[in-house]
Amino acid sequence: MNPVRQDLLNVLAELSAAMPDVRFGQLIANLSTLARGLSAEGLWDAEDEELLAAAQEQLTYFAEHAEKPE
């Protein structure tokens, strides 16, 4: 397995933990939309590097918007 794919799988695990109510298929579809835009081809044509960047963007978003304990 190449390093990009391994990184992508690691980030997907982190996203899954951050969003337990989102099904895995939904997660992948959402990332492909972030990576390629809203099109049927986006899911099929998205490269691992594009999905990794989108997944990292999502993780950053959740980290910045996580509820902070009072």
pLDDT of residue 68: 63
Instruction: Establish if 45 belongs to a structural domain.
Output: yes
The boundaries of the domain holding residue 33 are: 21-65
Q: Tell me the per-residue pLDDT of 31-53, one tens digit each, with 9 for 90 and over.
A: 999 999 988 788 889 999 999 99
* Number of independent structural domains in the chain: 1
How many residues comprise the chain? Answer: 70
Confidence of residue 29 (pLDDT cuts 50, 70, 90): very high
Instruction: Establish if 16 belongs to a structural domain.
Output: no
Instruction: Establish if 9 belongs to a structural domain.
Output: no
Instruction: Establish if 14 belongs to a structural domain.
Output: no
Q: Which DSSP letter does residue 66 get? A: S
Instruction: Establish if 70 belongs to a structural domain.
Output: no
Residue 63 has pLDDT above 90, yes or no: no
Is there a contact between 45 and 59 (Cβ–Cβ < 8 Å)?
A: no
pLDDT of residue 70: 61
